[in-house]
Every structure is written in C-alpha cells, then in structure tokens.
Amino acid sequence: MKTQKRLVALLATLAMALSASAQTDTPKWLVYPRMYAYEREWVDSIVYTDKNYDVFVESTKDINDQGRWLMKVNGYGEISIATTKVGVVAADVANEDIEQMFKDGRLTDLQEAKVDSSSIYNRYDFVVEEGAWKPVIFGYDAEGEYRGYYVGETQTFSSNFTADINAQLIRYDRGLSGHYVWGYGSIMHVRDVMGEDYATNGDYGTDWYQRWAKNIDLAANSPYSAFVWQCFFLAIDGLNGLVHTIERRNRQVNVSADLGYALALRAMLYLDAARMFEFLETDSVGPVNEAGNNVSGLTFPIVKEVWANPYPTDIRRATRDEMATYLTEELDAAEDALAGVSISDKRQASLAVVYGLKARLYMWLGDYAQAQMYAERTIAEGGYTPLTRDEWLSTTRGFNDRNVGAWMWAINYPEDCEVVQTAIINWTSWCSSEYTEGYTSTGVYPVMGRAIYDRMADADFRKLSYKAPSGTSLAGQEPHLDDNIYNRLPDYASLKFRPGQGNISTPKVACAVDVPLMRIEEMYFIQMEAMAQRDMLEAAKERLASFMQQYRDANYTCSATTKEELIDEIFLQKRIELWGEGQNYFDYKRLNKPVTRGYEGTNFVAAKQFNTSTRPAWMNFVFGQNAYQYWQVDSDTQGHAVYPLADWNNPDPSNCYTPTAY
C-alpha cells in the first residue's frame, strides 16, 4: 500500500510538472504531442476547442554570412489556418504577457505568411543578440478571426557551445509517453538490463525497462524501438546543426575547441548506434529479415547534414566498412580540432577522450594493435588516475560528480533541465537505490546479478557497492546514507550511484547529477584485452594483476593459463568495474558472449531467466517504424507514408527465447 501511494504521488507530481507549460489564457487551447512524417522533430500542436486549427513552432540556431546569430523559426499551419504571424521574444518576458503585447502592437518584428494549399510550411530568420530567446506564433482562421498563440522552447545564444552540446544528451522526448524518454542516459540503462549482470528487482508494472529485459515488444512498430532510434536521431541531428553553426561561426571567432567537442560526441553516438544496430549472428534469429533481405553487418545510416523537409528518400544503412571509414575521418577531424586544447569542464571532450573513442572503435573492428596504441595514448595523455576506494564509496560524490580524477567525460543533468524537474524520469530515479522520490522507491531497485556478485572477492572494495546478504561477512559494512532505506533494500541492491550531494529526497538536488561517459579505467581494460588478443599473454596477465592489486584488491591473483581464460577474466573484471555505466553490452555483443540468468539461486525474476548459447538475439536492435519516414505525394491531394528502412530492418527478436524455470 505504501508503494502504491508513493507511485500515485510520483505520477501526480509528473502530471503537474508537464501540464504547467500547457496553461494559456482565454480562449482555451489544448496542447498535446503530435508528429507529422515530414517534421524534423517532435513539436507541439495547439488545437482549438471548437475546431481543429493546428499551428506549430520550432526553432534552431544558425549564423548568417556576417557572423551574426540567427534564430531560424519554422512556423507551420494547417489548411484551415489562413494566416500565421511569427516572432521572437526575449525569454524573460512572461508567457502570459506575450498575447497582450501582440494585441497592443508592441511586438513589431513579426513576419507573416498566408497559408494555402501550395504553401503550408514557412521558415523565418530573426537576427538576435547573445542571450535567451523564444519563438512565438499567432494563428488566424479562414475568416480572419484571431485564434490564439503558442510559445516554443527557449534557445540560449552564446559563444560557448558546451551547454548546447550537452543538451543533445539530456533531451526529454515528449513525443513518446513512456518514462524512459529522458535521453542518452536512458539508452545506457537499456543496454545494461540486456545482460546478465543487472537484475532489476521484482516484476513490477512500474518498471518501464522490463520489455528490454524480457525480450518482448521490440518489433519495428513498438514505441520501445521507436525511442532508441529516435534518441540517436535527434541527438545526431542536433549535433549536425551545431557543427554547421560552429563552422560558420569560426569565420568570426576561434571555436575550434567547440567544433572538436561536437565532432567527438557525434562520433560517439554514431559508434554506439553502429554497434547496437549492426546485425551479428545469434543462436536463434538469422540475418534474413521478413522482407527476405540479408542484413548481416549493416549498421546505422550516416547523415551529416541538418535534415531538410521532407526527409531524404535515399536513406540506407551503412556497411561496417563504410561506418569505419566515416568514424575514422570524424575522429581525425576531432583530434585536429582539439590538439593543444586544455579543458576545464568534463562535459567537453578532450584530446584524451578522442583517443579513447578511437580505442573503442578499433576494438569493435578487431584491430587490436591500434586499440592498444590508442588506449595507451589515452592513459598517457590526460593525467587521469583510477578511482580510489574513498572516491568509489563516497556517499555524497559516489558516481555523481564529474570532477573526480578518473572521469574523462560526462553527461551533466543541471538543476533546471526538464528531466530533473520531472523528479522521476531521470538517472537518479532509475539508478539510485537511496533516492526516496523516484522509481527505485517503488521497488524497481537496480540489483547486481548474483552470479557476478559471488565471483567478486570480499577484499575487492567494489563489492561494498552492493548490499551483502544477511549473515555474510560484508553485511552491514556497505557505506550508506540512511539506515531505514538500507534495511529495506533487497540483497545485492546497488549503492553505486548516489543521489546528488547525498540528498535522498529533494529532487532538484538529488537528480542534478553527472553520469560517466568515459573513465580512465576502461582504457586499462582495453589495453589488457588488446594485448591478450595479440597473444601477448604474459604481459597482459601482468597488467591485469598490477591494475587490480594497485587499485582494487591488494590480494588479487589471476589463475588464467590460456588465451581464452585470460580474455574471460579481463571481461569479468571489466564488467564489475563498469557495472551500470552502459558499456558492458558492447563487450557481450562483440565477444559473442552468452547471457545466463537462469541458475540455482538466481536473483532474476522468472520472466527474465533466459539462457543463451551465443550473444542474445535481442542485442541486435530494430529500427522503429518511424525511422526516417517521409510523406510521398501521389497526387495534389493524396499521399502515403514511406519507410525507407522497412525492407532492410533487422529481424524482430521478440519472444525468441523461453525462460528457464528456477
């Protein structure tokens, strides 16, 4: 009953937070999410209560030929709207004052367009100064009667693009209703629940990630597939616009560092998407899809331009070789842009981060000599040091603060961003067991799989990040924030990710955290495995033992005697090291490792107890049906939606395994 009351309160809080922006003066307008096939991204639709008079507004940043800021506003009206007037208003003007300013004639810089059957989409350019601005659109019906206005999202213009680049990762996608729509951090969480190491506790209806963990509803027409594709698409598309803007801005000011940050992040997103969507052989689903096409080795479409309207019609999935060529060029360009640049904010990619991305790329490609070289360059370049015991187990800064010495690159969720303000649709809500106002408080705890927990030595301080079973030698020794919370946690529950500043109950503090995109420890493990893959077995074994004894467990010994055993041991320690950070999925898929969740004493619920003999089929992601769809006009008045990837999508892996009964 207590859990149910808490969930009701959470949902009520969310409803209030998301409805606040929908309140307008008389006449009353209803605001709801809507998407047309040819729109560049999800936008809001206003619908008059008597008749449907739909108007939209969205904005992007650009630079004109004189190096001045442009706010490019896309205004759109249905056929029933005869006229739209679009303007730009300073962000400090209250929304409730905008309509009166319009009626009083105080909004003078307005652009107008009449809407007819041949012109329903209009773009307007406004020169603005540095600062915060928001677009507004006013709509008139066919009889010339004013029907109301709508204000778009605020854009901030400055010569520092760091916040804009970070914003591509923390986008709240109103176009989908699931509580997993909070950007790239959610994608990291999706990847983690697909393995055998992250056993979300229980089988609750409040677990929005259970489809990925249970291998259900992952077809092209599923909102879960739509979210994964769309998250990458929107972030990459936003970065395409930023790269374009930065390159043009470079005529006036030196922003090569900003360009390097944007290129590095775009490369990371493409590399992740390529590895997630690439079809690799599995034990249950072959590469020939429902249309009869073999999609083996196909990755993600490459588009470096800002989307036009409608979408291009020649979209196709890049091959592995094409993606490798593109990523090499992209990372080379990022390396050139960041050479000699010193960073002070780990939201920004550094030269060491670019080397780290190259190390990941070459591991994917199986070029282990290059992977080892770039991992070693990363270690040498940045002056980063692995986390200490105190840093790892800190109850206030543990895995929530990018300023520790091991973190190389991070997502930042600031207090004023939308996902933090929801209180429940964010990283802390899903990943911190000690936060009292999020989804974990409803019983959806992040839990380490028992099999990997049992393989950790008690002397390894990383084991103290998970609640030890009662009666075992570590029970009660785990640093925690609150005894009452600790006592109700299930066995093996994670204490790794702390709420912001150790605050367990104030959302704007607890949810305003940093999330690691890259830590230096990953590079040590890439170096070790690359050496082992190159048959440098003794050297690799020595590096592993040295790392573990110096940084994690002074008593560690490695008993591996063969290449396969050594790679498995490196894989195990890397899984422990990066648990919950969204990276282990890639090694499962790359190394063709099976997932084993059904065993005696398992802490996976029955519906998630899958045992595979190879990489699971569900690790080949399916493109959502909305991927790059466009509207093809058949005549002046008719048309139909076209899905260019439909015949070249990955086969649906849903329900292809039967749970093991333990």
Q: How far apart are CA 486 and CA 471, in angstroms?
A: 15
What local confidence, expressed as pLDDT, does residue 636 receive? 55
Contact 121, 76 (CB under 8 A): yes
Record the pTM: 0.85
Strand partners, 83: 114, 140
262 inside domain: yes
Strand partners, 149: 138
Residue 106 clears pLDDT 60, i.e. is over it: yes
370 inside domain: no
Confidence class of residue 277 from pLDDT cuts 50, 70 and 90? Answer: very high
What local confidence, expressed as pLDDT, does residue 623 receive? 97
Reported as a single tens digit per residue, the pLDDT across 34-71 is 222 223 333 333 333 333 445 667 787 777 777 778 88
311 & 199 share domain: yes
What local confidence, expressed as pLDDT, does residue 632 receive? 67
Which strands make up the sheet holding 55-63, listed edge to edge? 29-34, 43-48, 55-63, 69-77, 121-128
Strand partners, 126: 71
578 inside domain: no
What local confidence, expressed as pLDDT, does residue 360 receive? 98
281 & 176 share domain: yes
Q: Which of 121, 140, 157 is the last residue of a domain?
A: 157
Q: Which of 101, 123, 157 is the last residue of a domain?
A: 157
Q: Which of 157, 182, 205 is the last residue of a domain?
A: 157
Residue 406 clears pLDDT 90, i.e. is over it: yes
What local confidence, expressed as pLDDT, does residue 39 receive? 31
439 inside domain: no
Q: How far apart are CA 187 and CA 271, in angstroms?
A: 14
What local confidence, expressed as pLDDT, does residue 2 receive? 46
Q: Which domain holds residue 54?
A: 21-157
Residue 321 clears pLDDT 60, i.e. is over it: yes
What local confidence, expressed as pLDDT, does residue 369 receive? 98
613 inside domain: yes
Q: How far apart are CA 526 and CA 545, in angstroms?
A: 14
Total structural domains in the chain? 2
Q: How far apart are CA 215 and CA 212, in angstroms?
A: 5
287 & 311 share domain: yes
What local confidence, expressed as pLDDT, does residue 626 receive? 82
Q: What is the DSSP string of 522-578?
A: HHHHHHHHHHHHTT-HHHHHHHHHHHHHHHT-TT------SHHHHHHHHHHHHHHHT
Residue 259: give its domain's CATH number: 1.25.40
242 & 320 share domain: yes
Nearest alpha carbon to residue 318 among 305, 303, 331, 299: 299
Nearest alpha carbon to residue 210 among 219, 220, 200: 200
Which comes out higher in pLDDT, residue 386 or 26?
386
225 & 83 share domain: no
Q: How far apart are CA 62 and CA 83, in angstroms?
A: 26
Residues of the chain by 3-state class (helix, strand, coil), percent to 5: 40, 15, 45
114 & 177 share domain: no
Identify the DSSP state of 51: S
Which comes out higher in pLDDT, residue 73 or 609?
609
Strand partners, 34: 43
- Per the prediction, the chain carries an average pLDDT of 87
Residue 281 clears pLDDT 50, i.e. is over it: yes
Which comes out higher in pLDDT, residue 344 or 600?
600
Confidence class of residue 606 from pLDDT cuts 50, 70 and 90? Answer: very high
Contact 327, 237 (CB under 8 A): no
511 inside domain: no
What local confidence, expressed as pLDDT, does residue 37 receive? 27
143 & 186 share domain: no
Q: How far apart are CA 345 and CA 348, in angstroms?
A: 6
242 & 308 share domain: yes
Reported as a single tens digit per residue, the pLDDT across 118-150 is 445 677 889 998 899 999 888 887 677 887 788
189 & 308 share domain: yes
152 & 183 share domain: no
602 inside domain: yes
153 & 220 share domain: no
What local confidence, expressed as pLDDT, does residue 634 receive? 62
What local confidence, expressed as pLDDT, does residue 255 receive? 66
173 & 81 share domain: no
Residue 274 clears pLDDT 70, i.e. is over it: yes
384 inside domain: no
Reported as a single tens digit per residue, the pLDDT across 186-211 is 999 999 999 999 998 777 789 999 99
